[in-house]
């Protein structure tokens, strides 16, 4: 669907033959980038900004929610936290905020929850329906108080990818305050497993799978994505040219 729209926008230039060679061309990448912006603008103008992603019935939940990407961060720090049932884990909230926060899992459990049964779509060609429970991100941001120059939220993760770069993702403030954007600690009525991102992951339901950052350690409010990773707003955006705005 995204590809079809993109092809439409870019016309013949986007014909997928020779795509790799084209992608190395800076001017083509600029065109891609503006099409991405257009796609984002179009999606947001045609639908209400707070439109909800479809929610499914309990009987539609997939029997298995497969794991993808990192299935265990496997660092000494993560293993120590896991061994202790994540009692010592903390979520740091910092950057362009008025009050830095350091939240334990039990503090998160004590906050109002939201539950949603949604479909996760991975660009690698699989989907799964799962029931997520977690704290609306908005609640946390209200507690931290975003400063007026905050424009993005960066989600730092505990895992490092094969090339030594940490996994991270980012979203803008529109998605940050969307009612279905939650920090999830449970999947299908069970605490998140390590494979699915324990102890806490992001769910941003109107975007693709790679935006759903697992193994959260820190949420940083920033005014620009420059200087974070390679500056494109996420691990896959930096390393494989994935779209920063992965709307579905
Ligand atoms: N920290 C971290 N988050 C991540 C990934 C990862 O490798 N590390 N993979 C992403 C991708 S591509 C997908 S499809 C989903 C997979 O979530 P799951 O393992 O619960 O299926 O997590 C996303 N979030
Ligand atoms: Mo994915």
Whether residue 215 is found in the same domain as residue 101: yes
Pocket of ligand 1 contains residue 190 by CB under 6 Å: no
- Asked if residue 171 belongs to a domain, the reply is yes
Whether residue 42 is found in the same domain as residue 58: no
| Calculated CA dihedral for residues 66, 67, 69, 72, nearest 10 degrees | -170
Instruction: Dig out the tokens for 168 from the structure.
Output: 């991270």
- Asked if residue 246 belongs to a domain, the reply is no
User: Looking at residue 159, which CATH number applies to its domain?
Assistant: 3.90.420.10
Q: CA–CA separation, 192 vs 72, rounded Å?
A: 12
- Asked if residue 147 belongs to a domain, the reply is yes
- Asked if residue 68 belongs to a domain, the reply is yes
Q: CA–CA separation, 81 vs 77, rounded Å?
A: 6
- Asked if residue 80 belongs to a domain, the reply is yes
Instruction: Write out 14-48 in H/E/C secondary structure.
Output: HCCCCHHHHHCCHHHHHHHHHHHHHHHHHHHHHCC
Could you check whether the bond before residue 194 is cis, i.e. omega within 30 degrees of 0?
Answer: no
- Asked if residue 158 belongs to a domain, the reply is yes
Asked if residue 199 lies in contact with residue 87, where contact means CB atoms within 8 angstroms, the answer is no
Instruction: Dig out the tokens for 170 from the structure.
Output: 């980012």
Residues bordering ligand 2, an ion, CB closer than 5 Å: 122, 209-210
Whether residue 58 is found in the same domain as residue 134: yes
Can you list the residues of the chain whose pLDDT is less than 70? 1-36, 38, 41-49
Question: How do residues 191-201 score in pLDDT, each as one tens digit?
Answer: 999 999 999 99
Exposure string over 57-90, b if 16+ CB within 10 A, otherwise e: eeeebbeebeebbbebbeeeebeebbeeebeebe
- Indicate the number of domains in the chain: 2
Full domain range(s) for residue 27: 1-47
Q: How far is the CA of 240 from the centre of ligand 2 (A)?
A: 12
Ligand 1: nearest atom to the Cα of 196:
20
φ, ψ (nearest 5 deg) of residue 34: -70, -30
pTM of the model: 0.85
The 10 Å Cβ neighbour count of residue 10 is 17
Q: How far is the CA of 148 from the centre of ligand 1 (A)?
A: 31
Whether residue 209 is found in the same domain as residue 116: yes
Mutate to test the pocket of ligand 1, among 197, 203, 243 (most ligand atoms within 8 A of CB): 197
Q: CA–CA separation, 232 vs 223, rounded Å?
A: 14
Residue owning the nearest CA to atom 5 of ligand 1: 69
Whether residue 17 is found in the same domain as residue 122: no
- Asked if residue 245 belongs to a domain, the reply is no
Whether residue 42 is found in the same domain as residue 121: no
Instruction: Dig out the tokens for 199 from the structure.
Output: 């102890």
Whether residue 39 is found in the same domain as residue 58: no
Whether residue 165 is found in the same domain as residue 206: yes
Q: Which of 100, 101, 246 is nearest to 175 (CA)?
A: 246
- Asked if residue 248 belongs to a domain, the reply is no
Q: How far is the CA of 237 from the centre of ligand 2 (A)?
A: 12
Instruction: Dig out the tokens for 244 from the structure.
Output: 């920063």
pLDDT at 248: 87
């Amino acid at each position: 669907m995204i590809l079809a729209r993109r092809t439409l926008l870019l016309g013949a230039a986007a014909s997928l033959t020779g795509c790799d060679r084209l992608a190395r061309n800076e001017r083509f990448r600029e065109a891609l980038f503006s099409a991405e912006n257009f796609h984002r603008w179009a999606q947001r103008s045609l639908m209400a900004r707070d439109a909800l992603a479809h929610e499914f019935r309990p009987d539609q939940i997939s029997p298995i929610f497969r794991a993808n990407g990192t299935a265990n961060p496997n660092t000494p720090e993560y293993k120590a936290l896991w061994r202790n049932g994540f009692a010592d884990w903390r979520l740091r909230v910092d950057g362009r905020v008025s009050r830095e926060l350091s939240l334990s899992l039990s503090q998160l459990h004590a906050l109002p929850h939201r539950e949603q049964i949604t479909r996760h779509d991975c660009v690698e060609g699989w989907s799964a329906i799962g029931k997520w429970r977690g704290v609306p991100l908005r609640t946390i941001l209200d507690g931290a108080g975003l400063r007026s120059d905050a424009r993005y939220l960066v989600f730092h993760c505990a895992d490092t990818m094969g090339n030594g770069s940490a996994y991270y993702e980012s979203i803008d403030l529109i998605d940050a305050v969307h009612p279905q954007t939650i920090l999830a600690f449970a999947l299908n009525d069970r605490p998140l497993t390590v494979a699915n991102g324990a102890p806490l992951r992001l769910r941003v339901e109107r975007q693709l799978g790679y935006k759903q950052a697992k193994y959260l350690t820190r949420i940083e409010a920033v005014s620009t994505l420059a200087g974070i990773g390679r500056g494109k707003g996420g691990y896959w955006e930096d390393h494989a040219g994935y779209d920063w705005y992965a709307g579905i």
